[in-house]
Amino acid sequence: MKHKCCVLVADDQPAICQLFRSTLDDRADVHTATNGREALEILKSQGVDLMFVDLRLANANGLDLLRTAHQLRRALVSIVITGYGTLESAIEAMRLGACDYLLKPFDSQKILDALDRALSLKSLNRSDRPHHSDVAHSAAPPINMIAASPQMREILSSAELAAPGDIPILIEGEMGVGKQILARWIDQNSREPNGCFIHFPGAALKDARPGAEHPDWQRFVLRLPFSEPAREPIAARCTFYIEHVEELPMWAQRQLLQGIERTWICAPEYANPDGVRVRVIASIQTSLEPAVANGTFSRGLYDLLRLTPLPIPPLRRRPDDIRAIVYHFLDRFCSEQKRDPGLYRRMIAEETWQLMLRYGWPGNARELISLIARALLPKDDRGFERILIQHVSAPATVPSCDMVSVPLVGDLRTIEQCVIREVVRRCSGNKAAAARALGMHRRTLYRVLQQN
């Protein structure tokens, strides 16, 4: 019997939830939530593979829920559904990891089409384990880094020099540029590539109190024994990859600093009773210097992490990689679907390539890969280039650091909330820092965000 995927539908309209239940009943185990709290409870208790999320929920912002969901479940595939579609919300959803954008009203066929597209994209990620752990052993397939541009070749050269040692590494770059892929590539090119790889989101400890129990954090930072029951076999080396390290609370930053000092500066045998060597790789989306300056990030931890900085430029700044990524994933997807990749390569006219080179790619490589997979889904091959052109013809400009996009419709309160949410996002969810940046009291910021 074919395994059903687990689908979560977060929408405050019961009729929409019922439509999803009746449409997907034969193909998926469907869970529904009418508010953000219910959705988070389902995400934590069920093995959700795919999430449909409305941008406007009763007590939550759909984009905030989307951000939290992808932090809780690394392998989650998500689709935004909304009756208030705007270019800004589509771009933001793509940055947060959404693979599709479904506008209301829609019927059963559009739901099924969206499900097929999402399941096709999910095949990109073979590791569907829930929660925060992501352990990769020697059976893991080799990681291929696409580096056609001079910038990426230089980064890979630096990463190759650093890979054999245990020195901490800091990978910088926008969402979707491939920070986790580079971390895995470094892990596989180390002196002992048969170790384990632990993927830990910084947000996992964001609201936890000091000393809060988290098995991966205790094992790899507090150095508890590696031979716990029901855990993976003892490995000679482990890579501890912390995504969004800027989201770690200060007490966790101090513990991480002490852990790095024990394992890298001091003798590893002293720090690890099992003799297991631990290597820390961290990633960030924006520079840590402002957080260090205002005291929200540990200066000592910053100094250790930046010993080997690897800044990945956004895709729009390395156009040579665009064509290489397209060709690579065309070959891969066509091979899986038993199609001729050369046919699709020839379909892309030079004018289409120029549109792709001029497009801003706010979702970076992840957005481009998703676009290729989506363009290959129609059975009519003639629709392939049309889908590419429609996507890259949108004026997806990338806002500068001192500009915020606001909706053209809505009252002043809606615009104010939009601006505040964007500043909070740029401050990595730190509302106190956002209030300081906006020159407003923190209580005022909370009050505005809670208004319906």
Residues 23 and 165 in one domain: no
Domain endpoint, select from 102, 122, 142: 122
Asked whether residue 200 is assigned to any structural domain, the reply reads yes
What residues does 50 pair with on adjacent strands? 7, 77
125 pLDDT more than 50: no
Q: Is residue 321 part of a domain?
A: no
Please tell me whether residues 192 and 263 are part of one structural domain: yes
My answer on whether 92 and 220 are in the same domain is no
pLDDT in tens, 239-280: 889 999 998 889 889 888 887 877 665 444 444 445 567 789
Predicted confidence (pLDDT) per residue in 356-414, tens digit:
999 989 889 988 988 898 888 877 777 899 899 988 986 544 444 455 555 544 556 66
- Co-location of 195 and 276 in the same domain: yes
Based on the fold, state whether residues 103 and 154 are members of the same structural domain.
Answer: no
The answer to whether residues 250 and 371 belong to one domain is no
402 in a domain, yes or no? no
- Whether 112 and 232 map to the same domain: the answer is no
Which residues form the domain of 244?
150-311
User: What span, in angstroms and rounded, lies between the C-alpha atoms of 446 and 89?
Assistant: 22
Indicate if 112 and 245 belong to the same structural domain: no
In a domain, 141, yes or no: no
- Are the CB atoms for 14 and 54 separated by under 8 Å? no
184, 271: one domain: yes
pLDDT beyond 90 at 284: yes
Number of domains into which the chain is organized: 4
What CATH number does the domain containing 265 carry?
3.40.50.300
Q: What is the pLDDT of residue 1?
A: 44
Q: pTM to 2 decimals?
A: 0.58
